Amino acid sequence: MDLALVATVGGFFALRTEPPREGAHIPLARVYGGDTAPLALRIDRVAARLRAPERRVAASVAQLGLAARLWSVALGSAVLTGAVPDLDARSLYWDPRLTSPDDLWLDAGPALPAGPETVRETVQSGHLEPLAAAVRRDGPVAARLLWGNAGSALAGAVRELTGWAAKAGRPDAAALAATYGAALFDHPDLRTTGTWSEDGGFRRRSCCLYYRCPGGGLCGDCVFNQPPAHSSVQDVSG
């Protein structure tokens, strides 16, 4: 499996298979199993960097970033190499202090055969479900918001991959990425997270709350056309 090719799509698609020289990486299974300290550290760092007014804002942004990494690695590998790295949470190591591509490394085993269900099991079942539970152990964050983040992250990975494919003269990869995206969104937890336009744009139906940070603004796929008053946020993030 040519992970170097996958990494050319962008930093979120990169995955190391050798331990970085620096870092305090731990298997993500520890986080999912109840070790709250690493995730709390990540949320603390995001909160400080964004000057987040509430902890749930930082928790949302932190979860969105990790979801984007996981979808990108699995989807990019499936589309470009015909295989999916086995991202077992016991073998996928994460350093909450670092960002892509240094945040993750995989103690790699045999690759898995590609297919939408393989990607779903690897990312959605293997990571996003226990990650959401871990985030909610840290503090109150709406489940709908976290699934909205998962949908936004998947749509972003599809968009980045199709954009790369267009520049690289790979219409086959662009078409396959779109096929994967459609199949992955056909799941009860993701199906209602957003809507697709005819030109391939995605607009989510919940809010990640990033706009509440000083100077945050709205994300490109935000449900809002302009930053709302705080009283209206519960309708789309609660």
What does residue 204 show for φ and ψ, rounded to 5 degrees?
-75, 165
Average pLDDT for 94-115: 92
Confidence tier at 200 by pLDDT (50, 70, 90): confident
On the question of pLDDT at 23 being above 80, the answer is no
The pTM of this model reads 0.92
Confidence tier at 182 by pLDDT (50, 70, 90): very high
SS3 of residue 49 by DSSP: helix
Q: Please return the burial class of 42, using the count of CB atoms within 10 Å of its CB with bins 0-12, 13-18 and 19+.
A: buried
Measured distance CA(6)–CA(133) in Å, rounded: 29
On the question of pLDDT at 92 being above 50, the answer is yes
Average pLDDT for 162-179: 96
| Residue 9 or residue 22, greater confidence | 9
Cα torsion 47, 52, 55, 60: sign: negative
Average pLDDT for 6-25: 90
Q: What is the pLDDT of residue 234?
A: 43
Average pLDDT for 30-50: 96
What are the residue ranges of helices labelled H in the chain?
3-7, 28-32, 37-50, 55-81, 116-119, 129-138, 143-167, 171-185, 188-191, 234-237
Residue type, 62: A
> Which CA distances in Å does 147 have to 66, 105, 154, 161, 205?
13, 25, 11, 21, 10
